[in-house]
Structure 1
Amino acid sequence: GPAAKGPSNEAPIQRVEVDWRSGPIEERVNRVLALMTLDEKIGQLCQTSVGGDALPDDLAADIRHGRVGSIFYTGSASQTREAQRIAIEESRLGIPLLTPRDVIHGFRTVFPIPLGQAASWNPELIEQAAAIAAREARAEGVNWTFAPMLDISRDARWGRIAESPGEDPLLAEQFACASVRGYQRGDSNAPGIAACGKHFVAYGLSEGGRDYNRAQVAQAELLNVYLRPFKAAADAGCLTMMTGFNTINGVPATANRPLVRGVLKNKWRFDGLVVSDWSSVLELIEHGFAQDPREAALRAFGAGVDMEMATTTYREHLAELLDAGLIDTGLLDDAVSRILRVKLQVALPPAGAGQPAPSSEPTGESLELAKELATQSTVLLKNDGLLPLDTEGLKRVAVLGPLADAARDQLGCWMLDGRVRDAITPLAALRSAVGDDVEVDFVAGLDSPIDSQTEGLAAAAAAAERADVAVVFVGEGWWMNGEARSRVDLNLSGAQSELLRRVTATGTPTVLVCLAGRPLTIGAEAELSNAVMFAWHPGVMGGPAIVDLLLGAANPSGKLPVTFPKHVGQEPLYYNRPATGRPALAGTTALIGSGRADYPDEQKYRSHYIDSDPFPLFPFGFGLSYTSFEYGHIELSSDVISPGQTLAVRATLTNVGPCEGEEVAQLYVRDVAGSLVRPVRELKGFRRIRLSPGESTVLEFALAADDLAYCDNNGRRVLEPGEFRVGVGGDSTVELTTGFHLNGTKLVNADTRKVPDTSATQ
């Protein structure tokens, strides 16, 4: 059709001057829409990947003739700017391009990976990091990021857990709102960039942790868990959403009309644009959900996907599908309007001259924030008193392992625009922090985290033998997690465990520091070590952050956003699981290797494994500090509430340890009985609080009756009277010691829930 015509024999372009700036956004959208031809409308729905450094002539012609609405993966900022210049100055209507990029955890200033940021439980810092990323990306011509990823992830085998906010819907909602506000808020010099909630929806539920695989999920669970962060992002004003590669109950996300058009667009009234994932429209054929590109275009467009990423089925087939009456012109105009609405907010050139030229260079402020976020996201998993290191008596430190001085690895996956030379490694940071006072011996022992050659281990052990303390850096290389990076084994790869065994065999006190993009099964390694820190992939300032924690210049305060299993066979393992009629009893251990022939009678027919105990290695919400916190008894403002009311939950928190520290206090609730089996507990609030030694504060959480509602399998929101149990503590194993009663009759469709405010500080 004419939409696909090449650059030869084009009619000359008759420019039309369009007033892009006066009047409300809807008026402007309609003004532009009324001027557009069918070809130009279809062009807005097409997103083309570029690559290379120069703008190809045929792409320049497509932009000039309005056949492209968005370009991405340009090779340089100048290429992006040239494409944008052609769109604005040479196309008939001057419609600007959307120029997206994967700005996932920072642009030039690389912050911790998203899973690490979630471990900070600090939405305020997450928002600031997104705002800095937006400012830096905007300086290079980017006006849209494919972030935040909001896939709830309960299975560490899935590589993209690294990009996720973890396993809990409330924490993910907070992450969603903070990220969207940060990316989109802009400042006096420039607007923000469009955020993109992805991957709509349940992509993190890929069966067996195999990327791109199916998700089988009941409607209640879809609504109560997987859709929640997307709803929070939509409510926070997120301008765009991206569909997933997965199928949901047999229907691909990119062709899922009930979810995309039904829930997202109609029920939630989301008025931004929906983009497919890379070639996910064409992949409907491989899924067996469309027989050819024409049907793929029909299915995806009909489902509500406004823009096709990377493939060309819309460009080649939409005009003909409209002709055949298979697509409604009203739906085409709606899709184009959504794209224009986003462009009006992020893609117009700055009004007026004299703006200072923006820069994408890291600043003192951005690096300070990167360090603070890396510090707050590092989780102390074990400490037998070795940390913080006593620098007074310290003469020699052995810094060992393949990740002690691996700048690229500490930046993590999905790092397109950071620079390895900007990263300060733990080795460099330690040398700089201790100066000449302490001898720092560095032996990697292994070339990389997957190196299984053991020749270098003797030198590492010898260095440990000579030292007062050994710090061993192990984990995953940057390429071992992220997209298409599923693992069947969560143990430390290569000879990393053997390295640690040889080091600890010397008797030298040892700190284990893990840098990784997912939970790892490090139970045996934790047992061998005197202290264990999990630093994720911490970004450019990871080294200084880790060293501050090791030396006591900072106090660990990160908490796990995901459960750590003892064994990969426990996955998916998550704290808010539905109750079973035969839960494992506390104290249950493995049968195999126990010397017993069977379990005691009361433990026998229970939900457990015979070759491992059933419990996590480290629970969700867990994280230690160099000080100790004590929680007092819970007091409720009432032991009965009614629909529409709010309960105040109060508990005293005291720093009973030797130094100042921050605690993330967590509120958990259990619905004792419902018309669906309910989770054994759910996070309903959290607060990050800094206390001096001996200082106390009264925590207060507001628990609205509406926070106790849930969705059933008919998609209705129900609020049911009954008993609820409450606990406040430092992780998800806190006892639910106190109860209250919700009065009244069952309410259906009480859908007024707003994302609770869990301000970062109190």
Structure 2
Amino acid sequence: MEQHKLKELVKNMSLTEKINQLLQVTSGFFIDETVLTGPIRENGITEESISQAGSVIGLLGAKKYKEIQDAYIEKHPHKIPLLIMMDIINGFRTIFPIPLAQGATFEPELSKKCAEVAAKESAVSGVHVTFAPMVDLVRDARWGRVMESTGEDTKLNSDFATAMVEGFQGDNVGQEFKIAACVKHFAAYGAPTGGREYNTVELSENTLRGYYLPAYEGAIKAGVEMVMTSFNTLNGIPSTGNRWLNRDILRDEMGFNGVLISDWAAIEELQYHGYAKDRKEAAGVAMNAGVDIDMMTGIYSKNLASLIEEGTVKEELLDEAVLRILNLKNKLGLFENPYKDADEIKEKEIILCDEHRQVSLEAAEKSFVLLKNNGILPIKKEDKVAFIGPFVHEKEIYGTWSMLGRPEDTVSIADGAEKYRMDYEMTFAKGCNILGEEDRNLIPEHHYKKIIQEDQDRMLKEAVEAAKNADKVILTLGEHRCMSGEAASRAELTLPKAQEKLLHAIYEVNPNIGVILFTGRPLDLREVSEKSKAILNVWMPGTEGGNAILNVLTGKVSPSGKLPMSFPYCVGQVPVHYNEYFTGRPYNPGTGEKEYKSNYRDIPNAPLYPFGYGLSYAKFQYSDLKLSKDIMNEEETLEAYVTIKNEGEYEGTETVQLYIRDCAGSVVRPRKELKGYQKVDLQPGEAKRVTFQITEEMLRFCKADLTFGSEKGEFHVFVGTDSSTEEYVTFELI
């Protein structure tokens, strides 16, 4: 539909019809004929508002979606189509590793491919918009939703945000098998005080602009069609009612002209924050702040008309919001084809097809991070290997936000081992449940599986016997999938007690242990590291997890993942991140001077495993770090060179990382910042020279006056295997 016709459509709509376009309800109102109880009616949701609601959240499926779309359009006075949205975070039915694990690949193009697959499976099922990607910068592992981010680094987050938006949307959301992306949560949702879900956020504007906003802006530059507000307050103002954040920064500075949607009931929560006295005032605050869609409260439907009549809200703001929503529907092509890609036949052909499973397998293999290896991995054909632990047969290894993930579609470790069992001597024992009775508070009660003590004792005894008779033990440990995610904040980051008991018991009879770690967040792994000879972090790997794990364990694939988020030495360090500032009294572990320095008396300053860290079966050696010149001006480019050699027995892929330190600035600058990364494949004995281009743009930062730019002076260039690399060369910007 042409733009002038959309504007004419808005002009011809009644005030009530326009307001209802801003309402989003759940699919239950259309599928189950949800009874409109007193509380629901009081919230402003009525039969009329549902019949005219602009969008629905939740899965319908192609057949049901077509039926509902037909009925909706038939009833609607202007025949406007319905918009279907859903949380598709790391896959639709073909599940990929969680986003934090995808960050560990350091390969945004692979995440773009994952998003393309997710979009295709979603589109044929009738979905138009996904509430992804989440690009919130995360530095505190206590916060459960770190699993949805790609980590602690601004550049990495921005690169992945861009790639995922491009994967979901393509060049045009109206194209076949494309859906609209929704970047979230605007803004700084990933920095809640104390790591506690929904908590307040306190950031200086310099930190906000310099580190937290760039990933959102990257998604906007990539053309993201929708942005979601965050639940948190930012320096005392809830994001959903923050006009400066949503109009001045998001729309005016960043140039976003798409749809801004609240998170679930976030407009209503303005009154719980104490920012609005009641629901009516909350509706006015949110609309004036620029929020276009009210997710699941009816607060706009009930209050906007009177607010407009009173003059508290201008009707032009409502018209702008409606036009943005209609624009999105138009871009998707729904006015011409209300079904878009929904197709029952293609659903059966496309969903979980071999091609999509192959992408899931590749993403899982590349996301695994080898944290430790004292020669125990890969396992060899002559080894007698005991696979022990609660994840040996576990199929729910796809993360809490994989809403459509199904155990029957998922490959467990035991499943993945089947094709290797003819050549390897393997035994399997569970040992314990993921959670014991003492761990049940770590997940919602309805997910807890109770086990009687006699069965627990029997499983532990069987596991100990299996360990005694093995050359090597592959011990599978980690978080229940519901231990990470929304509302899953934790003050302690250790393993569940039941698994700690299993680890101790196995270690007593066979210390030749390699741990396979399932997790949605960084954990405190001190004890695991002490009692194991290898740790392979596989995150929540998704549909093909078991196949990917066995391919890596047997050496068919060499692990290549790198940590996108630091693993703390203990929870007392968090938030911990590699790009911290120097202090006036920095502590240098190499000097031995601790008094009156910035350090802990009882633990190290450094995390147990830093950002960018990850081993391989190959052995990489760095040498000959050089610059093409040691002085550059703003128009010039210089090159950094380094030679990488594989001195090991296995071929492998190394992610070479470029960091830069700005030695002095108008505001304090980080110890180092990631500015580039390249993947290099090397055969045993092979060496390659890697070159990075350094431009003036890479040296820009948020200065004291809150503008972005570079400042003349000295810079250090580090190139290495992770963020802890200390060797550097120097140049000067003149």
What is the alpha-carbon distance in structure 1 between the residues aligned to residue 33 and residue 70 of structure 2?
12
Aligned to 2:410: 423
- Residues 589-643 of structure 1 show CA distances to partners (whole Å, capped at 9, x for unaligned) of xxxxxxxxxxx6x321111111212211001000000001122222223222222
1:188 Cα shift? 10
Contact 1:64 1:90 in 2 (8 A): no
What is the alpha-carbon distance in structure 2 between the residues aligned to residue 272 and residue 313 of structure 1?
21
Q: Which stretch has the larger CA shift, 85-94 or 73-82?
A: 73-82
What is the alpha-carbon distance in structure 1 between the residues aligned to residue 98 and residue 359 of structure 2?
14
1:324 Cα shift? 1.4
Q: Which stretch has the larger CA shift, 705-714 or 289-298?
A: 705-714
Contact 1:96 1:347 in 2 (8 A): no
Return the match for 2:390 from 395, 402, 408: 402
What is the alpha-carbon distance in structure 2 between the residues aligned to residue 94 and residue 274 of structure 1?
23
1:441 Cα shift? 2.0
SS at match of 1:314: helix
Contact 1:671 1:723 in 2 (8 A): yes
Q: Which stretch has the larger CA shift, 703-712 or 102-111?
A: 703-712
Contact 2:434 2:496 in 1 (8 A): no
For residues 284-323 of structure 1, the aligned pairs below 5 Å read: 284-323=270-309
- Residues 359-405 of structure 1 show CA distances to partners (whole Å, capped at 9, x for unaligned) of 152011110110110000000001111111111x13x3211111221
SS at match of 2:419: helix
SS at match of 1:29: helix
- Residues 137-165 of structure 1 show CA distances to partners (whole Å, capped at 9, x for unaligned) of 11211100000011111000000011111
Pairing 1:190–2:176 present: yes
1:656 Cα shift? 2.2
Describe the shift of the 1:368–1:665 C-alpha distance in structure 2 as closer, same or farther (beyond 3 A): same
Aligned to 2:90: 105
Contact 1:382 1:530 in 2 (8 A): yes
Q: Which stretch has the larger CA shift, 717-726 or 639-648?
A: 639-648
AA at the equivalent of 1:133: A
Aligned to 1:368: 358
What is the alpha-carbon distance in structure 2 between the residues aligned to residue 583 and residue 568 of structure 1?
21
SS at match of 1:358: helix
What is the alpha-carbon distance in structure 1 between the residues aligned to residue 221 and residue 327 of structure 2?
17
Q: Which stretch has the larger CA shift, 308-317 or 501-510?
A: 501-510
What is the alpha-carbon distance in structure 1 between the residues aligned to residue 507 and residue 500 of structure 2?
11
Aligned to 1:548: 551
AA at the equivalent of 1:145: T
SS at match of 1:433: helix
Contact 2:206 2:704 in 1 (8 A): yes
Aligned to 1:749: none
Pairing 1:42–2:19 present: yes
Describe the shift of the 1:563–1:706 C-alpha distance in structure 2 as closer, same or farther (beyond 3 A): same
Return the match for 2:107 from 102, 122, 128: 122
What is the alpha-carbon distance in structure 2 between the residues aligned to residue 269 and residue 126 of structure 1?
25
AA at the equivalent of 2:733: L
Pairing 1:243–2:243 present: no
Pairing 1:562–2:565 present: yes
Contact 2:173 2:180 in 1 (8 A): no
Describe the shift of the 1:163–1:648 C-alpha distance in structure 2 as closer, same or farther (beyond 3 A): same
Aligned to 1:412: 399
AA at the equivalent of 2:85: P
Aligned to 1:623: 614
Return the match for 2:248 from 262, 271, 291: 262
1:481 Cα shift? 0.7
- Residues 531-587 of structure 1 show CA distances to partners (whole Å, capped at 9, x for unaligned) of 110000000111110110000010000000000111111100000111112222225
SS at match of 1:99: strand
What is the alpha-carbon distance in structure 1 between the residues aligned to residue 412 and residue 280 of structure 2?
51
Aligned to 1:324: 310
Contact 2:434 2:499 in 1 (8 A): no
1:684 Cα shift? 0.5
Q: Percent identity at matched positions? A: 40
What is the alpha-carbon distance in structure 2 between the residues aligned to residue 352 and residue 377 of structure 1?
38
AA at the equivalent of 1:428: D
What is the alpha-carbon distance in structure 1 between the residues aligned to residue 718 and residue 595 of structure 2?
29
Calculate the TM-score normalised by the size of structure 1.
0.89
Describe the shift of the 1:450–1:123 C-alpha distance in structure 2 as closer, same or farther (beyond 3 A): farther
Aligned to 1:585: 588
Q: Which stretch has the larger CA shift, 648-657 or 467-476?
A: 648-657
Aligned to 1:283: 269
- Residues 43-101 of structure 1 show CA distances to partners (whole Å, capped at 9, x for unaligned) of 11111123374345989954785x31111125655443333223334312222222100
Describe the shift of the 1:678–1:310 C-alpha distance in structure 2 as closer, same or farther (beyond 3 A): same
AA at the equivalent of 2:557: A
- Residues 291-326 of structure 1 show CA distances to partners (whole Å, capped at 9, x for unaligned) of 001110111111111111111111111111111112
What is the alpha-carbon distance in structure 2 between the residues aligned to residue 691 and residue 438 of structure 1?
27
SS at match of 1:666: strand
Pairing 1:677–2:668 present: yes
AA at the equivalent of 2:385: V
Contact 2:80 2:335 in 1 (8 A): no
1:33 Cα shift? 2.5
Task: Structure 2: give runs of 5+ residues left out of the alignment.
Answer: 37-44, 439-452
What is the alpha-carbon distance in structure 1 between the residues aligned to residue 650 and residue 423 of structure 2?
25
SS at match of 1:633: strand
Q: Which stretch has the larger CA shift, 134-143 or 180-189?
A: 180-189
Q: Which stretch has the larger CA shift, 669-678 or 497-506?
A: 497-506
Aligned to 1:156: 141
Contact 2:715 2:731 in 1 (8 A): yes
Contact 1:50 1:75 in 2 (8 A): yes
What is the alpha-carbon distance in structure 1 between the residues aligned to residue 500 and residue 134 of structure 2?
32
SS at match of 1:229: helix
Describe the shift of the 1:575–1:322 C-alpha distance in structure 2 as closer, same or farther (beyond 3 A): same
SS at match of 1:281: coil
For residues 605-620 of structure 1, the aligned pairs below 5 Å read: 605-620=596-611
Contact 1:152 1:226 in 2 (8 A): yes
Aligned to 1:497: 500
SS at match of 1:341: helix
What is the alpha-carbon distance in structure 2 between the residues aligned to residue 285 and residue 580 of structure 1?
40
What is the alpha-carbon distance in structure 2 between the residues aligned to residue 262 and residue 515 of structure 1?
42
AA at the equivalent of 2:365: T
SS at match of 1:725: strand
1:352 Cα shift? 11
SS at match of 1:157: coil
Q: How many residues align?
A: 703
Contact 2:473 2:510 in 1 (8 A): no
Task: Structure 1: give runs of 5+ residues left out of the alignment.
Answer: 1-19, 589-599, 744-762
Contact 1:400 1:473 in 2 (8 A): yes
